[in-house]
Structure 1
């Protein structure tokens, strides 16, 4: 796995505004910083901006072409069969809610949903609401079951997960990467557990549907929906250098064709096909695109993916940014391999440094295990909020909160349910990591390297840096 050379990283960092203010941005699990080139693209697009699928002007035709090509870029990026599998939403949260509302009418009395205690609230609260608030109003009892995780390793308890899945399990929901623990569950095993359910789906097959919250996974891994074989995959672009406001729900085409829309009106209606006795819907993917979409946001998000390929030098033959040409899957693979390698190196470095601080506990898998590029921790006798404020005073932007992983914080007995978290992106440098670690050490009043780095962690960091 190749990591970035210092000169490559310097060139990447020069394409962002935040280094000019000496900001150490380590709150990337919440949102990343967009490149300057994306803001310039948005400015240029505004000169010929028009609505999509709603005009015959040159501006409308061109904007529509770019908007539709963006679906193709995104489909290639996640190795989806076609744009017909995608719908655009405001966030991962809304994408998961879209899946929930589309599935709602299919639940039967006595069904159950299985999810986990390590989920982001957005992949638990909608299912809790469905089972406890919405479906009971229709006289249907559906149970929401929660799989445990190992408190020491942060790994999902697969045996417990399997024990919760039975013949009435319609849906299994699982994170692809925890935004608190950093855990990356073995999704192939989760898929097999879901398949073991004998639940009869509307299309005639048996087994539970699988929904993956890939918000964190998408930021530092090659998300291949064909390999995952999930029925639904949700993610957002603001975790991977794009501006706010665009989330995606992937769904298998055969499933999407049978589901009712999440929202009704506008572009999801077939042109001229509204009658007093019936309404006919548009073809996929526009069946799930009610009203005017976030046109510029979708275009900018897809173009950001192309820009990432260019920034990391994944394709020496050509430049992809600001084109609509079919994106090369090989270029995507190469780009995300570099992103993943860089993220892993930074994460291991941070874990090694933080482990040298007395009284500090790092949550989740140990160094060397598969991890999202974040480290959440607490220090004995110190409020995580005070630590985060002290880091901010030194120019290091972290986050103290439950990180919307409230169930996991409660399950670990953390009181108040909060931790401090640093998280990394493509533009972070080893120096950023060192400054963050030194800021934590200073915040808790410990001298530099007050305790030696454990040998296992030290070897892990050295191994990563040699790759």
Structure 2
């Protein structure tokens, strides 16, 4: 009886797991890169665009026109698609309203938008807390603010850096908490590291921010919290309402769309009370310009100065609809280019499937890599605590050489500091670089295995060459001695 119960429970688990399995073969038919024989494992930098999104550029060009700047049918049509894109993005991340959304060129510009919008709110003696784990884009703007911009106005603001644990790659929350005080205007933190792969416990960082005691202009006593979600959102279900952070930034080129569109999602009252980042064009209220006064447009257009990347915005929003189709049923076009509604439960189901697949790839690759002699894999050992990227170094091997050899074998990786310079230097890496494999939901288990096994072959081949060179050198030295 007990055995039957155990067997029944195991079958239920297997059924649940099968429900979460992606049809990767069907997914890959939507992309061009498999036809080239490419093994794409540099997805943390940028993902591959599906054929449908590339074709959409051509289709939209038939009615190519500007938005909010014409009475033609084409202008109205494109304007409607453009404005609907804001609604799609809003629903996908469960933001309250499209007035919470600012379209930017990328995550970097989104972070800079926050920095410049808060520029005049900093007071002498304030501080900003960020971490050693950050992408350069979530550190350098705050460095520039504290070291170069505010000092010109006689305002001293300190930028403080929280440590992480070298062995586990986890953020040191105790140290972070010790840096936050009643003069901490804002905490700026990654959602997931693009070097260590670590997913941050954002609810705990939020708790630290909420109890800082900093007096904000609207009377709230807490620190603001900005999350760089560039590495988090593409492979992890992310609910802006549940996170309850003040600012969330991400880029579409890391989740299927072509380059050029990023998003800042922010609490509405912050966007309403802050100054715009850029001035001119759509951010001006219609006809509200005079020698003595300029009126700003209502949200979300207050932060949409000039002619935007119209086609890029429409295509990026459709990338979210296509992502749902590919994850849930890649042979059916239920959401892409339709008006079919989806809710946050639909998004959660799709993203959980993607996340499960990426975990499987990461676990397989880490298992193979971990058997390589002299290797150091950075970040958490538990795949549940990390995204689908694996950064590593091998003793005696240059990470750039490993990446070059991987490329010769047909595996596309990345070597360098991955724009996480602070973290590489914090670990005292010399050079401050590592090799990185990063997977997305269109990668197969065979590709993950091949990439990891190829690293193993590269390292073994180099070790054999080194042994051979040392043997020859010893033979030569012995001969000279004789």
Same fold (TM over 0.5): yes
Do 1:210 and 1:231's aligned partners in 2 also have CA atoms closer than 8 Å?
A: yes
Q: Is the 8 A contact 1:114 1:145 kept in 2?
A: yes
Of 313, 325, 330, which aligns to 1:310? 325
Say if 2:445 is the partner of 1:444. no
The separation in 2 between residues aligned to 1:367 and 1:113, in whole angstroms, is 31
Distance 2:376 2:99 in 1: 45
2:28 maps to 1:13 = yes
Residues 351-373 of structure 1 deviation map (CA, whole Å, 9 limit, x = unaligned):
11100111111000113441011
2:93–2:344 Cα contact (<8 Å) kept: no
The match for 2:447 is: 432
Q: Where in structure 1 are there 5+ consecutive unaligned residues?
A: 448-467
SS of equivalent residue, structure 2 residue 282: helix
- Mapped to 1, the partners of 2:219 and 2:178 lie a distance apart of 24
Q: 1:251 to 1:387 in 2, by over 3 A?
A: same
Q: Does 2:349 align with 1:334?
A: yes
Q: Which of 40, 43, 48 is 2:58 aligned to?
A: 43
Quote how far apart the aligned CAs of 1:340 are: 0.7
* Contact 1:16-1:33 within 8 A present in 2 as well: yes
- Corresponding residue for residue 322 of structure 1: 337
The Cα offsets for residues 147-178 of structure 1, whole Å up to 9 and x where unpaired, read as 00000000000000000000000000110000
Report how far residue 111 of structure 1 moved.
0.1
- What is the CA deviation profile of residues 169-213 of structure 1, one whole-angstrom value per residue up to 9, with x for unaligned ones? 000011000000011111000000011111110111110000000
**Corresponding residue for 1:271?**
286
Give the equivalent residue in structure 2 for 1:191: 206
1:134 aligned onto 2:134: no
* Partner SS, residue 283 of structure 1: coil
Task: Give SS of 1:202's match.
Answer: coil
Residue in structure 1 matched with residue 120 of structure 2 by the alignment: 105
**Secondary structure of 1:10 counterpart:** helix
Distance 1:431 1:255 in 2: 47
Q: Choose the corresponding residue for 1:224, options 218, 231, 239.
A: 239
Scaled by the length of structure 1, the TM-score of the pair is: 0.93
SS in 2 for 1:40: helix
1:289 to 297, 300, 304: 304
Closer, same or farther in 2 for the Cα pair 1:377/1:315, shift >3 Å? closer
TM-score by length of 2: 0.90
User: Which one of the candidate residues 343, 353, 362 is aligned to 2:368?
Assistant: 353
SS at match of 2:460: coil
Change (3 A) 1:306 1:412: same
Aligned residue number for residue 149 of structure 1:
164
Question: Which of 97, 109, 113 is equivalent to 1:82?
Answer: 97
For the 8 Å contact 2:31–2:48, the answer to whether it is kept is yes
Which residue does 1:31 correspond to in 2?
A: 46
| In structure 2, C-alpha distance between the alignment counterparts of 1:389 and 1:23, rounded to whole Å | 15
Q: Secondary structure at the match of 1:220?
A: coil
Q: Distance in 2 between matches of 1:316 and 1:378?
A: 40
Partners of 1:5 and 1:119 in 2: how far apart? 32
Q: Quick check: 1:2–1:338 contact (8 Å CA) kept in 2?
A: no
User: Cα distance, 1:330 vs. partner?
Assistant: 2.2
CA apart distance, 1:310:
1.1
- Which residue in the other structure is 1:22 paired with? 37
The CA distance in 2 between the partners of 1:315 and 1:396, in whole Å, is 25
Distance 2:408 2:330 in 1: 40
Q: Cα distance 1:59–1:154, how it changes in 2: closer, same or farther (>3 A)?
A: same
- 2:258 alignment counterpart: 243
Contact between 1:73 and 1:327, CA under 8 Å: does it hold in 2?
no
Q: Quick one: distance in 2 between partners of 1:222 and 1:257?
A: 28
Q: Deviations over 1:74-115 (max 9, x none)?
A: 000000001000101110001000000000110000000000
Deviation at 1:7, TM superposition (A): 7.9
Aligned partners of 1:255 and 1:297: how far apart in 2? 26
1:2 CA drift (Å) = 4.4
Structure 2 unaligned regions, length at least 5: 1-15, 463-482
**Structure 1 residue 314: deviation in Å?**
5.7
Structure showing greater Rg: 2
Counterpart CA distance in 2 for 1:345 and 1:74 is 28
Change (3 A) 1:136 1:382: same
SS in structure 2 at match of 1:66: helix
Q: 2:189 aligns with which of 174, 178, 202?
A: 174
CA shift digits 1:21-79 (9 cap, x unpaired): 11000000000000001111111011111111111100000100000101000000000
**How many angstroms apart in 2 are the aligned matches of 1:316 and 1:389?**
36
Matched residues in 2 for 1:423 and 1:316: separation?
26
Three-state SS of the structure 1 residue aligned to 2:264 is: strand
